[in-house]
A and B are shown apart, each in its own frame.
Chain A
Amino acid sequence: MAEIQLRNIKKRWGHVVGVDNFDLTIADKEFLVLLGPSGCGKTTTMRMIAGLEDATDGDILIDGVRVNDLEPKDRDVAMVFQSYALYPNMNVYENIRFPLKVRGVDTALHDERVMQAAERVELTDFLDRKPAALSGGQRQRVALARAIVRKPKVFLMDEPLSNLDAKLRVSTRAQIKNLSHDLAATTIYVTHDQIEAMTLADRVVVMKKGVVQQVGSPTEIYDTPANTFVASFIGNPAMNLVDGEMTGGTFRAPNVEIAGLAGPDGRVTLGFRAEDASVANAGGEINAPIYTLELLGDATMVSVRIGGQLVAVKADKTFRSEIGDPVSIHVHKDHCHLFHAETGARIGE
């Protein structure tokens, strides 16, 4: 249906750089997630694709056609806004029907198409209601239905779940995934929630301050983060990062000594994930007093302080100890990631 090419697009407001040199080809039917903290330029990138924001530089192509100078209505995209942006004076039926109406779709088809879209998101009982009389989740589904009622080339979703409560978020997330699979349309989804990115995406783009940090499948991003920013943004808890010295393949920091690593001598940042380490009785690579102990139900999170940083380790759910007790943590060298101390870039591989 639609391949989107972004060629070195930039967005500047005076001296402020919103998005810098974004260069990516999004394959047909791909589910791409733009992930990053607020102000990282992910929404701006999406708005440039939608045509709601002009790119300062670079080309945007949909199916090989440059769309930079096209109005949003001529780009054949549909968008779900964070605030849903439902038309408050129209009822649910009219809201869903609106895109068909303004685009001059044959009126004989309207009813069938609206009913199909409403059924897809289970809204058929609420068609007469005004948006004000709907719950947050229902409004969200109206926005979805309005987007799918016509068959656009591209779906754009701007944090569609961020206004929902935690429970509803999980079920709506599943619904969106199912919907995008069925519709097989190219989808670009903006979020700051790394769990949404991991669960929904074919590919994730991690952004920071307008610059793309890493592009890859959720597994790649999780297993081989390109730098310390990605490492600390993805995963719950985020990857443990410890500053230290490498000498002859051995990493040393206060209370830490890990041997057998492949990396240059000098100052580096070592990273490992909480679930890749285990609590041992003695002889582990990290030996320090327990800083805090958190019971999560399925596991116990044990934290120690190394230098200024907290290092968390997932222990068995039956693990019990007291704050201040010494603990030994075992970290296998194969699970360690090394990053450049200054730039934060990944070392090796």
Chain B
Amino acid sequence: MSSKAMKQPVALRTFSTIFVVLWLIVAAFPFLWTLWGSFKVELDFFSKADWRNALTGARTMVEHGSAFTSTGYEGAWVQEEFWRAVLNTAIVCFFTVTISLTIGTLGGYALSRSSYRYTFWLLITALIFRAMPPITLVAGYLLPFFEWNLWGILPTTIIVLVAINQPFTLWMLHSFFQKIPKELDESAKVDGCTQFQAFRHVIIPVMWPGVITTGLFSFLLAYNDFAVTSMLLSKENQTMVPKIASFLGTTQTEGNVMFAVAAVVSATAPLFILVMFFQRQIVSGLTQGAVKG
């Protein structure tokens, strides 16, 4: 690959290198800016006097004697107990992903192997539910949740997130399963498997990249969700995203906005690690189709 790239004209190579570098800077800038700013005080990062204060940290120097300070992080994690939100997010994500993947793989497999026409309508119905804005579901749920005393707790949120997420996982896994030839199931069955054994021993090992890709998307949905979690969780059960929003909402107290900035950095870091860790599976999951026996 590199040798082929080296054969291109010098001008083109220079141009594309500059383009990529520029693009990288533009794309990464908001993240880097936030990361840098999270170690400053509010009057620097949101400076009205001079935007360069955010870079140099003039006020931070005055207040803390150093250009960097961890007060934002301390405020968020210790004073406001952001770790609770992290824990809640972990619980919500774990169960949302586990439940929707379990139902999604079994359902997607069944739909992909069924010869009945109603499978098509099931998938279309799923697509319609997927297309609806999540908030429309929440509006309908709110009243019964209050009535039955289910509002504000994590299991309720998990169920709603699964409901919103399930159509997507079903679709995605269904299309992955359809790419796996039916002969593979049949061969396994003739070789001595029950339908479920064929699924477990033959189909799922081939499906791993698809399951991981779908799982990651489910995870991101649960991790990033704001509409559902902000409406359905009480203050003590909040996950990270609504917690960050609540930091931003309290601008009366100076410095609280910096809790939000610090929390944003804390919430973004795991995503980077996760995507980098699974990138190989994600790429092969997205480009799957080479499973021909």
Contacts and interface: CB of A to CB of B under 8 A. Distances in A.
A83 B292 contact: yes
Contact of A88 (B186, B189, B291): B291
B183 A77 contact: no
Contacts, number: 72
Interface in B185-210: 186-194, 197, 201-202, 205-206
A65 interface: no
Interface string B148-182: 00000000000000000000000000000000010
Contact of B186 (A52, A99, A102, A103): A52
A327 to B, nearest CB: 50
B201 A102 contact: yes
Interface residues of B, number: 21
A52 B202 contact: no
Given A79-B190, A85-B184, 17 more contacts: A50-B186, A50-B190, A51-B190, A71-B194, A73-B192, A73-B193, A81-B186, A81-B187, A81-B293, A82-B183, A87-B184, A87-B187, A87-B188, A87-B206, A89-B205, A89-B206, A99-B192
5 contacts: A73-B190, A73-B194, A77-B190, A85-B183, A98-B188
B202 A87 contact: yes
B186 A86 contact: no
Interface of B: 181, 183-184, 186-194, 197, 201-202, 205-206, 290-293
Contact of A102 (B191, B206, B293): B191
Contacts of B205: 87, 89
A88 B194 CA distance: 19
Contacts of B193: 73, 102
Given A52-B186, A102-B201, A86 B293 contact: yes
Contacts of A103: 191-192
Contacts of B181: 83, 85
Contacts of A86: 293
A71 B189 contact: yes
Given A71-B189, A99-B191, A131 B293 contact: yes
Interface of A: 50-52, 71-73, 77-79, 81-89, 98-99, 102-103, 131-132, 139, 146, 156
A73 B185 CA distance: 12
Contacts of B184: 85, 87
Considering the complex of A and B, which 7 residue pairs feature the smallest CB-CB distances, nearest first?
A85-B183, A85-B187, A99-B191, A103-B192, A102-B192, A89-B205, A72-B189
A85 B192 contact: no
Contacts of B191: 73, 78, 98-99, 102-103, 146
Given A88-B206, A102-B197, A52 B292 contact: no
A73 B293 contact: no
B211 to A, nearest CB: 13
Contacts of A156: 190
B189 A85 contact: no
A52 B113 CA distance: 13
B190 A78 contact: yes
Contacts of B202: 87
Given A85-B184, A87-B184, A52 B293 contact: no
Contacts of B293: 81, 83-88, 131, 139
B59 to A, nearest CB: 59
Nearest to A75: B190
Contacts of B189: 51-52, 71-73
A80 to B, nearest CB: 9
A79 to B, nearest CB: 5
A72 B206 contact: no
Q: Which of B191, B192, B206, B291 has the most CB of A within 10 A?
A: B191
A63 B188 CA distance: 23
A79 B192 contact: no
Nearest to A90: B205
A245 B181 CA distance: 53
Nearest to B195: A71
A79 B187 contact: yes
Contacts of B290: 132
B53 to A, nearest CB: 57
Nearest to B205: A89
A73 B192 CA distance: 4
A14 B290 CA distance: 34
Nearest to B291: A88
A76 to B, nearest CB: 9
Contacts of B292: 83, 88
A79 B184 CA distance: 12
A131 B189 CA distance: 19
A247 B256 CA distance: 111
A146 B187 CA distance: 10
Contacts of A132: 290
Contacts of B291: 88
Contacts of A52: 186, 189-190
Contacts of B183: 81-83, 85
Q: Which of A85, A87, A98 has the most CB of B within 10 A?
A: A85
A185 B290 CA distance: 35
B290 to A, nearest CB: 8
B81 to A, nearest CB: 45
A82 B181 CA distance: 12
Contacts of B186: 50, 52, 72, 79, 81, 85
A119 B201 CA distance: 26
A88 to B, nearest CB: 6
